[in-house]
Structure 1
Amino acid sequence: MKQYKLMLAALIAVFFTACIQIEEEVELKDDGSGQISVSSDMGKLFELVKSFASEEDLQKEGMDKALDTMIHMKDLIDTARDISAENKALLREGIMKVKLNMKENQFNLDMKYPFKNYSDANKLYAAINEKGMMGDALKGLKQNNGEAGSDGQPPVPGAGGPGLEKFSSVYDITFSKGEYRRTLNRARYDSLVSDPKLQESKGMMAMMGEMAMNLTVKLPRKAKSVSNPKAILSDDKKTVTLKNDMILALDSPQNMEIIIRY
């Protein structure tokens, strides 16, 4: 059991920096409003857990129970500590969907955050990426530290940790009229890659195979220019898709930089 817990802790450490498959979508409208969506597929995490843990071990840890729920962020944000009133206002309209079923190797996390204008969009990204902020909000689920919640549901691995935003925070993402800009923040990137936990997890990340990290930007009108030559432009020139692998992105983060003018 001790070995199982140590291995599970290592896997959760991987979850903090990589979520196997990340699909980020930004939808922009003519009036400056829109929505940020992030979908993560972490089923491979369960495949690894089951490769060394027995069914009895999983039952004892409460990981054999399925979870399928939708969380309105306002129910967590309003009572969360250490979050500014401004960030609460930006995040409270968000929705999070969690599907967890170890027997079927299913672990999906989907988040959607709407915004009203460019200014709110810029602040929203900063709020999502704020260190520790989302973890504090997730404490409302009472599922931290590998413990089941008060409703008897299984724990959500990574709840309370840095999660998705830890890697996405290495980019400065800004919205303005007619432009979407995603550029590398070298100081934050250097800080991330110097973290011993990240270096320790790289070997395990490689065991999981390809880990997609994709960005899709839906525009209100045709794109005039796209800076990244690897980006794919749709036939109507209103959708820009940039695909990458998480491990490659960690080593060459400039591959996910992009400036779109429309």
Structure 2
Amino acid sequence: MFQKLFLLAILSLFLASCQFTESLVLNEDGSGTISVEVNLNEMMAFGAMGGDSVVTKMDTIIYMKQFLEEKKDSIATLPKGEQMKLKKLENFNIHLKINTEASEMEYDIATTFKSIEEVDDLMNALNQAGNFVPGMDQNQKKDEPDSPDIIGVRYSFDKGVFKRDAYIKDKTRHQKEVDSLKQSEAFLGGVFYTLSYKFPRPIKKVSDPEATLSNDKKGLTLKKSFIDYFKNPDLLDLEVELEK
């Protein structure tokens, strides 16, 4: 998914910027909600999403559990690896909001959880969610497989301490992708990945000094250049200690 978006940005020949926002609401018992929103409005404004589409306006939610049940017969014909990727989306919902006339396109993938460890597969879900956006895979050949997951994220919450730990899944493929983007870095400077988190208690201490706390100290925002994050996922590693 990340690679597809970067390719679209390059092909636009302008700074057709997309933005990522990862939002988390964590409850005292460790349950909560998490989502990642992708804003493609500027890409749409520059026509980076390609030719005419039969869909001009859309505001819909795809409930993945229902979708997978409805499509189970066709999904059963896919390779086992692809079936497993789709199976992992079962507890996620995808919200698509598109208005081609107004050059607007946003989508997010979200889930609720009983324990934050349940959403360790969030980046894979985001990668797969892009396939539901009309026109997103237009630059990918029909017989070409999706890009493998390169960046993963582990989450934990224990004894009032929250941790976000990003890591590289496939170091060889990751380095190839980083090398392929070197000549395009100047055009990708407007792409950011933002964390927007809310906790059940005030924050006592946070590992990244660039994080901004809300007035009640229960929320934080942290924004990093996406190209820098892609090259070094540790940039958005985070440890948050809550007050007793």
Equivalent residue number for residue 8 of structure 2 = 11
Separation in 1, partners of 2:150, 2:47? 23
1:225 paired to 2:225:
no
Separation in 1, partners of 2:233, 2:150? 13
Separation in 2, partners of 1:190, 1:222? 37
Question: Structure 1: which 5+ runs fail to align?
Answer: 1-7, 144-154
Question: Structure 2: which 5+ runs fail to align?
Answer: 139-144
1:34 offset after TM fit, Å? 0.3
Instruction: State the TM-score, normalizing by the size of structure 1.
Output: 0.67
1:157 paired to 2:155:
no
Equivalent residue number for residue 5 of structure 1 = none
Note the alpha carbon deviations across 1:159-199, whole angstroms, 9 max, x for none. Answer: 98459x754x1x433233412112242x5373453134x54
1:188 paired to 2:185:
no
Cα distance 1:158–1:114, how it changes in 2: closer, same or farther (>3 A)? farther
Note the alpha carbon deviations across 1:225-255, whole angstroms, 9 max, x for none. Answer: 1111111112211112111121222344332
Equivalent residue number for residue 141 of structure 2 = none
1:172 paired to 2:154:
yes
Task: Assess if the C-alpha contact under 8 Å between 2:36 and 2:126 holds in 1.
Answer: no
2:222 to 242, 249, 255: 242
* 2:34 aligned counterpart, secondary structure: strand
Equivalent residue number for residue 24 of structure 1 = 22
Alignment of 1:1-262 (within 5 A): 10-11=7-8, 20-49=18-47, 58-59=51-52, 62=53, 65-78=56-69, 79=72, 80=75, 82=80, 83=83, 88=87, 91-116=89-114, 118=115, 121-126=116-121, 128-130=122-124, 135=128, 155-158=134-137, 161-162=146-147, 166-167=150-151, 169=152, 171-185=153-167, 187-188=168-169, 190-196=171-177, 199-201=179-181, 203-204=183-184, 206-207=186-187, 209-262=189-242
Question: Greater shift after overlay, 63-72 or 95-104?
Answer: 63-72
Equivalent residue number for residue 148 of structure 1 = none
Separation in 2, partners of 1:66, 1:189? 37
Give the number of equivalent residue pairs: 220
Cα distance 1:138–1:71, how it changes in 2: closer, same or farther (>3 A)? same
RMSD (CA atoms): 3.8
Task: Assess if the C-alpha contact under 8 Å between 1:19 and 1:40 holds in 2.
Answer: no
Higher helix share: 1
Separation in 2, partners of 1:179, 1:211? 29
* Percent identity between the two aligned chains: 24
1:100 offset after TM fit, Å? 2.2
Task: Assess if the C-alpha contact under 8 Å between 2:40 and 2:106 holds in 1.
Answer: yes
